[in-house]
Every structure is written in C-alpha cells, then in structure tokens.
Chains A and B, each alone.
Chain A
C-alpha cells in the first residue's frame, strides 16, 4: 500500500514532465533527450528565486504549516516556470531550430543528446555536484492509516494537488480556448493548421513554453519530494520517455496516465526487485508496451 501511494506521488511529477515531452515529440517530431534537463533548470531556478525572495521579503520565508513550503518558494515556482519556458525557447532558437532548418529529425535527436550532457554538467559546475534541499527542516510524515501503515508528507500531498491543478488547467486550455484548438490542430496536421491561419512558428514557441513550464513544476516537485542534484535529469530521462511511450506519443492524456503507471510500477517493483534494479524498470515497461501495443495506450500509428 505504501508503495502504491508513493507511486502515485512519483507519478504526479513524471506525468507533468511527460506531457511536455509528448507535445514536443509530436509537434516537433523528435525524441528530446534533453527534456529532463529542463526539470533540473526549473528546480535550480526555483532554488535561486526562493533564496532571492526570502532575502528581499523575510516574511515570505515563513513556512505555511504543515507544509515545509514557504510563500517565497511558492512565488519562486511560478517565476521559475516562466524562466524555464523562456529557456526552452532560447535553446530552440540557438540549437534545435537551426538543426531543424537544415537537417532531418534524427539530427535533432542527436543534438538533444548532446544538449543534455551540456546542460546537466553546466548545472553541476554552477551549483556543485552535491545535493541540495529547498528547506533544511525535516518534514514529518503524517500517518494516513496504521494498518496497513501508510505515511504521507504534507509536501507530497501539495505536490500531487498542484500537479493535478496544472493538468486540469492545461486540459481547459486545450479544450476551451481557440489557442488550445490551434495547438491540437498543429499536432494533427500542421499544413492544414497553417491554411487555417495558424502561425506555425508561434505554436512551436508555445509548445516549448508549455513544455518548459510543466517541466519546471515537475522539477520543483521532484526536489520537494527528494532533493536537488545535478544528475536528476539523467535519472529522469528514461521514466519520462517511458511515460510518453506507454501513453502513446502525442497524447497528452496518455502521458498523464503513462506517468502514473510508470510511477506506480517503479514503486511496486521495489517489492519484488532489489532497489538497485529500479533504474531498469521504465525500460521494462517500454519493452512491454513495444511488444503488446507498440503505439501506446492512446497513440496512433505514424511513420
């Protein structure tokens, strides 16, 4: 039971990250190996903004009990989302768009492979290889149930709630606004979308902003649940890819479901496998999907 609860919590940030990745993979048509590094960018940016806000407005640094979260960090999350969205566009302008303009899709995969290494290690050089926390205070877990024993930290509940709010917000944008229709239209048929007056360049930029914002939130939530460490991107790439493949590349709802499946499966696997094997669990899920249902739960075949 505890593993199931932990799995749902893990799933909440994997889902957020996978939504952005699945959009990028669908609209820009390449597997972005540097997507998980946007989580690190977001997580570390929030750390910096949190410190800055707390220094400027000391009152904001008080905890919102029972969370270990402060008002400063809450504001930092929002700013970091904007910052990471902008970073994602900047990287697209500097690297991916230029490769896209001259090369083929596989060169984009290759470029993202290199970018992942650059981003991850620049963060390591900037912030140090050691792990960091948003708050040094020990957050006490709340006992949800004694038999079976289930413990949950208030922060984790916040993470799950906030992730669901973000997903709901995205859902509303996609289903209620013409901007959302335009984004879905581009995903389905870019040429037809253009003919209907949609500016492709803007939609690509919007895709990066959404991907960056959700990645930032996911990165902070990961940091709140565990810790900040420069190699967090390396450990998250595979679970996030697995979530997109399980859900079906291009499906936002698939990515949400895939994220929770990956999170729950990884935590349940701890019951049967030694923890050393957990990095391999997402790969096993990918294998299972490729064998059973190659286009994922919600995906469509596309060459």
Chain B
C-alpha cells in the first residue's frame, strides 16, 4: 500500500514537472503560434543551470557556486531564457519555419555539448552532488517526496495562474491578434517580432523552471535526461490537451505521461523477452501516432477550451 502511494507521489511529481513545461510550450504554440522543435534544450538549460549553480565544487567541472536553491532555480530559468533569446532574436523575423529548424538544432547542439564537454557538466556521466534542499529537516524518505510534490504543485498552480492572467491581459490579446493577422497588428504600430520574442523567451523560461525542478528532484542530470524524445512527449501532451488551453495542457500531461509509463510497464511485464529491446521503438511510434492522429482528427485536443481561439488563417 505504502509502495503504491509512494509510487503515486513519484508519478504525480514527474507529471507536474512536465506539466509546467507543457504550459511553457502552450504559451509559445497555443497562444502565439511558435513551433519550438527543441523543447528539451530549454528544459535542459534549466536543469543543467540549476545544478551547476547550486552544486558544491566538483573536480574538473564548472560549478561550486553553491547558490541557495531558489537562486539556483532562478538561475536555471535565466539560462533557458538567454538561450531562447539568442535563438529567437535570430529567427523570429524570418519565415516561420526557421524557428522550428533552429530550435531543433539547438537541442541537437545542446545535447552534443553536454555529452562531450566534461569540463562544463561532466560529459556523459552527468552532474551529481546536488544537496537536496531542506534535506536536513525532512530526511530522504516519503515525507521528503511528499513535501517536494507539494512544492512542485504550488509552482504548477503559480505558473498556471500567471499564464491565465497573461493570456487574458492586453498582452495576451496582442499575441492572438498577431497570430491571426500579423499585418493588421503591424499597421496598428505593434512590433510582431518583438512581441513574439517576449512570448518565446517567457515560455522557454517556464520550460527551464521545469528542467530545474526535474534536476533537483533527482539531484542529478545527465545527457540521458535530455534526449530528443522528451520534446516529442511534451508536444504530444500539449496537442492531446488542446493547444491554447492551459487546463487541457495539464490534463494532457497526466494522460500522456500515464500512457507512457503504463505502456512501458506493460511491455516490460508482458512482452516477450526478444521484444523488450524494442519497447522504446513501440512507445515512440505511439507518441508520433498520437501527434499525427490528433492533428488529423481532433486538432482542438481532447479538452477543447470554452473560448475557442481559431488557428490562424492560411497565409498566401
């Protein structure tokens, strides 16, 4: 029983962390119409940033700043935001798919950097040695995990409320206006590229927060945590929940993460040994099929928002 509950706590923690990243993506895609093909890079920048800033000195690696946890977490977000700013500033004025390609490229480059630069973040073996905050008070057991879940949930709610207010604010209306009719917005004296950049950087910082939480939850991060499939998973969560819909995004996260862990468990349990090697391939096909299938048959998601924001009209 306690085993099940502690598993549920674990599941809920990871799902909530991912939900934060999905909310960040929703600001970019759902509200602004920006395709981020490298979510994992911004998630990873947050994760690595947080651990590097918060960890004690490690031999042969950057680090030893030992910043307090909230500062380290913020630093991770700043790292993600800076990365987003650099990519966005270069691409957001150009044809829309440049951003998709550049973000995809950032993720590839980021993973290759983290895998190889031992001096920076330990290379393939990753960064370990982060002291979990408040560990002295809460210990290492179930209580700690429960408290951490509470902390993550608080942040999830905070991000949710922040985004809901943002979307309802004049800035949010501006985002939609630009997505619907860029020329009209420009003729009103708005600068679409700038507004998009703000939305892109904000969304990426939120992904960075998710990455920072993820890294501190495990007190460890390595290149294995920033594989490209994470980008696909987060996208699937968003499209299932319904782009533009924050509550749907959270539900989509729970659903997809549940399906992912559930299918992984079922395959490892029931599939013949020879097929075990292909668990990943089967799951990847499922994630890809979810994305394509949703686009074809239910582009508004399983939980359509009440206030429907139409996808922007076709250009040309």
A residues lining the B interface (CB < 8 Å):
25, 29-31, 33, 95, 98-99, 102-107, 109-111, 113-122, 124-125, 129, 190, 234, 237-238, 241-242, 245, 249, 274, 276-280, 282-284, 286-287, 290-291, 294-295, 302-303
Contact = CB atoms under 8 A, between A and B. Distances in A.
**Residue among A99, A103, A114 facing the most chain B CB atoms (10 A cut-off):** A114
A31 B116 contact: no
Interface string B109-141: 101110110000000000000000000000000
B95 A302 contact: yes
Interface residues of B, number: 51
Contact of A286 (B105, B232, B278): B105
B314 interface: yes
Contact of B292 (A95, A102, A124, A241): A95
Interface stretch (B75-83, B163-171, B198-206, B280-288): B280-288
Interface in B273-295: 277-278, 280-282, 284-285, 287-292, 295
Interface in B258-286: 277-278, 280-282, 284-285
15 contacts: A25-B97, A31-B97, A104-B311, A105-B315, A107-B295, A113-B37, A190-B316, A241-B105, A274-B116, A276-B112, A277-B112, A278-B112, A283-B109, A286-B101, A302-B95
Nearest to A299: B95
Contacts of B282: 121, 125
Interface in B78-114: 90-91, 93-98, 100-102, 104-106, 108-109, 111-113
B312 to A, nearest CB: 6
A241 to B, nearest CB: 5
A241 B289 contact: no
A122 B100 contact: no
B112 A117 contact: no
A241 B291 contact: no
B105 A107 contact: no
The 4 closest A-B pairs by CB, nearest first: A114-B291, A117-B288, A31-B97, A283-B105
A31 B291 CA distance: 16
Nearest to A245: B101
B97 A104 contact: no
Given A114-B291, A115-B292, 9 more contacts: A106-B35, A111-B291, A114-B287, A115-B288, A117-B284, A120-B284, A121-B288, A234-B228, A238-B105
A33 B37 contact: yes
A109 to B, nearest CB: 5
Tell me the dominant secondary structure on chain B's binding face: helix
B285 A117 contact: yes
B313 interface: yes
B285 A103 contact: no
B97 A129 contact: no
**Residue among B101, B106, B112 facing the most chain A CB atoms (10 A cut-off):** B101
B289 A114 contact: yes
B308 interface: no
A238 B104 contact: yes
A249 B95 CA distance: 10
B49 interface: no
B4 interface: no
**Residue among B104, B239, B287 facing the most chain A CB atoms (10 A cut-off):** B104
Contacts of A118: 284-285, 288-289, 292
Contact of B232 (A29, A113, A277, A302): A113
A255 to B, nearest CB: 14
B124 to A, nearest CB: 9
Nearest to B314: A104
B105 A282 contact: yes
A278 B111 CA distance: 11
Given A95-B292, A117-B291, A291-B90, A125 B278 contact: yes
A124 B281 contact: yes
B312 A104 contact: yes
Nearest to A287: B90
B115 A276 contact: yes
A290 B99 CA distance: 11
Contacts of A95: 292, 296
A121 B299 contact: no
B96 A105 contact: yes
A117 B234 CA distance: 14
B33 interface: yes
Contacts of B232: 113-114, 117
A29 B35 CA distance: 14
B235 A110 contact: yes
Contact of B101 (A31, A110, A120, A291): A31
A280 B117 CA distance: 13
B292 A290 contact: no
B292 A103 contact: no
Contacts of B316: 29, 190
Given A25-B97, A29-B316, A110-B291, A103 B311 contact: yes
Contacts of A103: 295, 299, 311
